[in-house]
Each structure stands twice: as structure tokens, then as C-alpha cells.
Chains A and B, each alone.
Chain A
């Protein structure tokens, strides 16, 4: 089971990224759960300064932008077990 975390305190792109992650894992049948992290203290702990942040299995993959779907698929496939 893989864990995908989306960091962001409610900005529009953060919500879009969460939805896009869910879409991708459903379409590609990936064994993963998507978790949204909105607590600012938790976000700051990761060291990112711009949201949304995307972490897969504890590793920060992308932040400060909303990747396009093709990029997101690649990022997820490269980083899951």
C-alpha cells in the first residue's frame, strides 16, 4: 500500500491536485491512498514554502505547482513500490 500526501491549506490548486491524484490512482488501478495535509505546522515540517506539495511514501516529489496529468502519472509511477 502506497501513501500519497498532498500538502496545502486549502488553495485552489491543492484541491485540484488531490482530485487529480485520486483520478490517476483509480484509472491506473494503483494500490495507494491519497491523504490531504492541511495543518500548517505539518506543512512547514516538510520544508516546503509553496503549496501544493506532493509527497509519495514520505518523499517530497513536487511542490509549488500543479503538475499536468501526464507528469503526475509519471511521478506516481516512478515513486510507488
Chain B
């Protein structure tokens, strides 16, 4: 397809997108109140209205952002990130690694070759960890959901505190000099010469990368979003206001560490957990506690630590989980304190 034709189609799609997005709420109201004629103010009505409004909204936002991020990511690759980070000093390296973690395409299934490649290139352990913390925790799916369901302030808050945790946790791990707790065979691996990465990508191909990202990611997460919003809608309609206040409210000091402890072994992606978390907040849970819970579910997961176990000795795994977990707890308390 010619690039002009592609751009024209894209523009057309964007206009349609805008028109649909602006009218979802009205359409959902019309559907629920006028077509199926449900009574206003009833629990079931509110639950269904919430669901019919949130699902298309979040899916539309997701499609657009995944497309844009897909295009941005076509300029980055783990190999390029490695070359940028090689030879960086500790603190500067941690900052760069955390930021690159957001934009570099990364799947935790590639964590092992990435770790080995970084070590081989002489990137300090702490810098590598900054990358490995930021990459899964701060992702476009999480940011879209936070933006769509909570607003831009919470999304920004999540991103900046996530970055801070990745930078400082990596820095601390670097300062602790834990290289001896990396499995010995890691240092014996010899990586090959850099492969020639084809740099000449046309803009048309970058657009294709965006489309492919949409197909892949949206196909993977829509089910979780649907389930998450359905559970959220149920809580929204049926659970009384302030129900969570005593359990996850800011007056209960132990709620932050408890949420983190529950969140670490829980494995869910952002798409499943954020819609649920939104309604917890609505029912009286405090922002810091909710943020901490969300971060520990998305950022620290059992499957990822099991993958990392192949290259790290158990002591280092504990330090990693401990340092990141502590960072998340601090963030949780901080926000409960600020928004008190």
C-alpha cells in the first residue's frame, strides 16, 4: 500500500475514533435508559451502564495509544539500549536505563538473553536492574488504563513514582555490590558480535509496526479488560460506599505493607487489575494503598522472578524483591500522607 493511501486511511480512522470517543457516554446512557428502559438509580442499571460505558472507552484509548507507542518503539531495540547503556556510570546509568525501560520493546520472556547481553557488555548490575524494574512496571497498557479510569494526574503519578523506584532500587542494588550472587555461568557466556540491525526502516513500515502492535496487544488484553471492568462494575453497583475504608483506608497503617505482600505473588497484567483497583478507590480505599497494590502486582511477579532465578542466586532474588517492595511501600505511605 502506498504511504499516501495509508496516511489518508489513518486520518480517516482518527476522525472516526474521535467522533465515537466523544459520544460513548451519551450512547451508553441512551442504550441503558431509553432502549432497554432500565430504571435510573437501581444497582443493576448502574452496573450495566458502567460496563457499557467503560469497555468501549478503554478499548478505544488502548488502540490509539498502543498504535502510537508501537511506532515510537520502532526506533528502539534492546540491542540499541545496550549500546547506549554500556560504559555509563552508576547513577546516570540508572536514570537512563529506567527511562529506556519504558520505550524499549521488551517481553519478560526475553529477560534472560537481555540480562546476559547486558552483563557481557559490561553494564553494571544495578543499571541492568533499573531496566528490568522499569520495563514491565511502566507500560502503555497500565498508563492508558490509569488515564482512562483515574485521569491524567494518577497516570503521571504512577509513571513518575515507578521511574523513581526503578532508579533508586537499581542504584541501591548497584551499591550493594552483589555481583557474586549472579550465577557463575553467566560470566562465562560469550556473546557474539553485534548483528547488523537493519536501520533503513521506511515510515510506512513503522506504521505497520504500529498496526501489528495493536493487533498483538489488543488481542491479548481485551479479555482481561472485559473481566476486570465486569468485576469493577459489579463492585461499583453493589458494594456500599466506604466499604473499603476500614480495610484499605489511610487510617489503617498496616494496609500498605499488607497490600504489597498480597500483590507480589499475585500475577495479573495491568489490564486485569486496574479496573478492579479503580472501584476499590471509589469505595473508600486510599490512593497510596491502591497505588502500592497495583505496582506490586504489575511490577513484581512470581513468573518473572522464576525466569530470573536462572541467572540469579536466591540471595539476589530476595534483595531484588525486598528493595523494590520497600520502594513501593514508601511510595504508598507517601501518597497516603500527601492526600490525607
- Contact residues in B for A68 (Cβ distance below 8 Å): 212
Task: Given A50-B105, A50-B114, A64-B105, answer yes or no on A45-B77 (Cβ-Cβ < 8 Å).
Answer: no
> Are B78 and A44 in contact (CB-based, < 8 A)?
no
**Residue among A40, A64, A66 having the largest count of chain B Cβ atoms under 10 Å:** A64
Chain B residues positioned under 8 Å from A64 (CB to CB): 77-78, 105, 110
Q: Which residues of A contact B109 (CB under 8 A)?
A: 11-13, 51
Q: Across the interface, which residues of B come within 8 angstroms of A46, CB to CB?
A: 192, 195
Q: How far is the CA of A11 from the CA of B112 in the complex (A)?
A: 11
Residues on A close to B: CB < 8 A? 9, 11-13, 40-41, 43-51, 60, 63-66, 68
Q: How far is the CB of A41 from chain B (nearest CB, A)?
A: 6
Between-chain CB contacts (< 8 Å), 25 pairs: A11-B109, A11-B110, A40-B112, A40-B113, A40-B189, A44-B120, A44-B189, A44-B190, A44-B192, A45-B191, A46-B192, A46-B195, A47-B79, A47-B192, A48-B79, A49-B78, A49-B79, A49-B110, A49-B117, A50-B106, A50-B110, A51-B109, A60-B195, A63-B195, A65-B105
Q: Is the CB of A11 within 8 A of B107?
A: yes
CA distance A65 to B216 in the complex (A): 11
Give complex CA distance A71, B129 in Å.
34
How would residues 47 to 78 of chain B score, 1 for a CB under 8 Å from any chain A CB and 0 otherwise? Answer: 00000000000000000000000000000011
Which residues of B in the span 187-245 have a Cβ within 8 Å of any Cβ on A? 189-196, 212, 216
By the criterion CB–CB under 8 Å, are A45 and B110 in contact?
A: no
Is B212 a contact partner of A49 (Cβ separation < 8 A)? Answer: no
> How many whole Å from A7's CB to the nearest CB in chain B?
9
Are A9 and B112 in contact, with the CB atoms below 8 A? yes
Q: How large is the interface on B (under 10, 10 to 19, 20 to 34, 35 or more residues)?
A: 20 to 34
Is B116 a contact of A44 with CB atoms below 8 Å?
yes
Interface residues of B (CB under 8 A from A): 77-79, 82, 105-107, 109-110, 112-114, 116-118, 120, 189-196, 212, 216
Give every chain B residue within 8 A of A9 (Cβ-Cβ): 112-113
Closest 6 CB pairs of A and B: A11-B109, A49-B78, A47-B192, A49-B117, A45-B192, A47-B195
| Residue from A13, A41, A47, A65 having most chain B Cβ neighbours under 10 A | A47
Contact A48 B105, CB 8 Å, known A40-B189, A64-B77, A64-B78: no
CA distance A55 to B192 in the complex (A): 14
A49 to B191, CA, bound (A): 10
State in angstroms the CA–CA spacing of A4 and B191 once bound together: 21
B-side contacts of A50, CB under 8 Å: 77-79, 105-107, 110, 113-114
Q: Within 8 Å CB of B79, what residues of A?
A: 47-50
How many angstroms from the CA of A44 to the CA of B120 in the assembled complex?
Answer: 10
**Neighbouring A residues of B216 by C-beta, 8 Å:** 66
How close is B95's CB to chain A, nearest CB, in angstroms?
A: 21
Question: Which residues of chain B come closer than 8 Å to A60, judged between CB atoms?
Answer: 195-196
Q: Taking the nearest CB of chain B, how far is it from the CB of A39, in angstroms?
A: 11
Contact of B212 with A48 in the complex, beta carbons under 8 Å:
no
Task: State in angstroms the CA–CA spacing of A20 and B78 once bound together.
Answer: 24
Contact between chains at A51 and B113 (CB < 8 Å): yes
In the assembled complex, the Cα of A44 lies from the Cα of B196 at a distance in Å of 15
Residues of B within 8 A of A41 (CB): 189
The CA-CA distance from A65 to B74 in the complex, in Å, is 11
Considering residues A12, A13, A40, which has the most beta carbons from chain B within 10 angstroms of its beta carbon? A40
The closest CB in chain B to the CB of A67 belongs to B212
Collect the chain A residues with CB atoms within 8 Å of residue B112's CB: 9, 40
Would you give the shortest CB distance from A4 to chain B, in whole angstroms?
16
